[in-house]
Structure 1
Amino acid sequence: MPVNRVTEITATRTQIREKKVRQPAVRLCALVLLLTLQTAYSKSSQKAPAPAPVQNLDSGSISDEPLGGVVINRTVTVLGWDFYKNFAEVWRAKYMNTKYTVTVYERPTAQYGSEVWVQYRQNRVFHTFLSPARSAAKEISGRAVDIVYKNVVDTNVQRLLFNDVDLGPEEM
């Protein structure tokens, strides 16, 4: 039995020596890894731009149009598309830097052709009936641009000048 005990003690001393040799290597690897991660983290935090100030989303008004100057198409037929296309081309050519967003609507009818109207802020500023002949759409849309712009400007002037204490600002 004493021989086995000596063998066990020798084996234990060998394992301890191996562990002592391994421990500094493991500690060195852990230290290098820690320093690398810390350096990478500090560099990434230095390069990151400062966060933008938080804006209150409820502070804006319904009259603030972030996508101003857009002509929206709500037509359903080829005749309506022709009117919209010509209207949008003339609108952009004449009033390129405008902030007014208008929407072109169409309701096709079997008897009268198509009913077409243009809305600005949920108010109709132009309304007409187009005959089924597509040739008239270009001429009418060209004239409609001037009428719509005049009515939109008049609507805005009236809105700014008219102040009634009984009516609140537009919400929707």
Structure 2
Amino acid sequence: MERVQEGLADALSNVVIRRTTTHLGDRFYREFSSLWSAHGVYDIRGVLTIEEQPAFNQGTLIRVVYERQVMFSAHVRPHKPSPEKVAEAAISPVTDRVAQRVAQRFMGGYDPDLAGEEL
């Protein structure tokens, strides 16, 4: 059973899931997932989710989530900066925060249900 779970975890590694509903969210997702794949982050052992919350007259709120924790959050508007530019800006902080989470897990001090000050 453990080997099946490991195989499933490997199959889901480096996956980016789209949970967007608008054109702006789709544009962000396409650019982010393309850059994420090209960036070469392969050992995260988890799934990134792009979530969107449309806001009337304010564009849309985009969140990049890893293990139920928000790694990046920004309001995206059709212009200035474009969703594609916001996605480019998101890659570095998401990579850093995910790497920090993975390192915490390997050091044995990581529990996704605990806050940072409880570790």
TM tier relative to shorter chain: 0.7 to 0.9
For structure 2, which runs of at least 5 residues remain unmatched after alignment? Answer: 114-119
Identity of counterpart residues, as a percentage?
Answer: 24
For residue 38 of structure 2, what is the amino acid of its counterpart? Answer: A
1:149 aligns to what? Answer: 95
Contact 2:67 2:112 in 1 (8 A): no
Structure with higher strand content = 2
Structure number with higher relative contact order (C-alpha < 8 Å, ≥ 6 residues apart): 2
1:83 aligns to what? Answer: 28
What pairs up with 1:130-149 in 2 under 5 angstroms? Answer: 130-133=76-79, 136-149=82-95
Could you tell me how far apart the structure 2 residues matched to 1:110 and 1:124 are? Answer: 22
**Normalising to structure 2: TM-score of the pair?**
0.77
Contact 2:53 2:61 in 1 (8 A): yes
Structure with higher helix content = 1
Could you tell me how far apart the structure 2 residues matched to 1:134 and 1:70 are? Answer: 28
Residues 81-102 of structure 1: CA distance to partner in whole angstroms, max 9, x if unpaired?
A: 0000000111111126444421
Alignment CA distance shift 1:105-1:134 (3 Å): farther
Aligned residues: 111
1:93 aligns to what? Answer: 38
The yes-or-no answer on 1:120 pairing with 2:66 is yes
Could you tell me how far apart the structure 2 residues matched to 1:98 and 1:157 are? Answer: 11
**Normalising to structure 1: TM-score of the pair?**
0.55
Structural RMSD (CA): 2.9
